[in-house]
Amino acid sequence: MRLTDMGDFGEIAAFLAAHDGVVGVGQAHACGLSDGDIRGRLKRGEWLALARGVYRSAAHPLTEAAMVRAAVLSYRGVADRTTAAWWHGMLRDLPLRITLSTPHRRTAPDWPIDVLATRRRYQHESVTDVLDLPVTRKPLTALMAAVDPPSGAAFLDRMLQKRTVTLDGLYRAIDDNAGLQGMVAARRLLAVAASDSESDAERLFTRLLDDWSVVGWVQQYPVGGWRLDFAWPELKVGVEISGWAFHRDTKRHGNDLAKANWLQRNGWSELQYNWHMLNDTPAQCIQEVIDRLTARSAAADW
């Protein structure tokens, strides 16, 4: 074997190790391999074809990261939405469907990987490379994942709470990508996040009580040195409402715990809901309140 071949072998081996065993034909050429070299590896079973011009080393397992790389390479695209969130480490588990965008017309590869490929082009400043994979930047990723049902607004709240993204960064991402599909919904969501979401959550809860004809409640009911957001004093049932988690501070959290402990010691039954619960599962929340009131009423009659 020629010394140049040994050098090429070392370069492609290092590339595969750093790229989850996945390589595109252009990347293989850049590592010094010819088309004949590629055909030889395929013939010997050293490489497996995943899609046209996309290969996996047989020495490397087909991991989730390998599937993402193969999909992005095959479509010549950019990982976005929940797949980008996973690649950034913002989501623990990779959703079953790989999400990406591409400006090119591409025929779906014949492989058992579920890919949602959207035809669109991102501005240069909205894309970055993470481990040599093009992905949308964190602010845009957070917004796009938040309007995707599997993750939702609670995901965006968590990213704000962890300071993975900031409100300013999210607003810039919306302004830079105003024409993208989903940005109208993202802007509405961000308006709630930036506002007094606790008040908005209380309005949601009041509307639910009215829609379900639940009566007898009092707002801001004084009890034990605190105030309950909603209370049914005769039945000693209280409901506490919170907004988005990233608005809450340590002092407020400690005060809420002290209140909850006092209520429990003094025979109150407390329920707690946040904006996400009231927005995403309103029927479940109000039914839980009705069930608690019914149970308390029955116990009182007994």
CATH code (residue 253): 3.40.960.10
Same domain, 56 and 82: no
Last residue of a domain, one of 152, 175, 193: 193
Residue 178 maps to a domain: yes
Same domain, 208 and 157: no
Same domain, 187 and 237: no
Q: How many residues does the chain have?
A: 302
Sheet bearing 54-57, strands edge to edge: 22-24, 54-57, 47-51
Residue 67 maps to a domain: no
Total domains present in the chain: 3
Same domain, 284 and 186: no
What pLDDT does residue 149 have?
74
Domain that holds residue 86: 74-193
Residue 276 maps to a domain: yes
Same domain, 145 and 224: no
Per residue in 222-265, pLDDT (tens digit) is 998 899 999 999 999 999 999 888 877 656 667 788 899 999 99
Q: In the predicted model, what is the mean pLDDT of residues 54-72? A: 95
Same domain, 241 and 147: no
Q: In the predicted model, what is the mean pLDDT of residues 57-81? A: 95
Residue 28 maps to a domain: yes
Same domain, 81 and 189: yes
Amino acid at the residue 22: V
Of the two residues 98 and 247, the one the predictor is more confident about is 98
Residue 297 maps to a domain: yes
Per residue in 173-218, pLDDT (tens digit) is 999 998 888 899 999 999 988 888 888 899 999 999 999 999 999 9
Sheet bearing 115-119, strands edge to edge: 115-119, 98-102, 78-79, 133-136, 127-130
Same domain, 244 and 296: yes
Mean of the per-residue pLDDT values for the chain?
90
Residue 78 maps to a domain: yes
Contacts 24+ apart (CB under 8 A), 147-154: 147/182, 147/185, 147/186, 147/189, 148/81, 148/82, 148/99, 148/182, 150/82, 150/95, 151/82, 151/85, 151/91, 152/276, 152/280, 153/189, 153/192, 153/193, 153/275, 153/276, 153/279, 153/280, 154/276, 154/280
Phi, psi of 272 (to 5 degrees): -130, 135
Confidence label for 8 from pLDDT (cuts 50, 70 and 90): low
What pLDDT does residue 3 have?
33
Residue 68 contacts residue 83 (beta carbons within 8 Å):
yes
What pLDDT does residue 171 have?
94
Burial call 192-230: b when 16+ CB within 10 Å, e when fewer: bbeeebbebbbebbeebbeeeeeeebeeeeebeebebbb
Same domain, 91 and 174: yes
Same domain, 145 and 165: yes
Residue 120 maps to a domain: yes
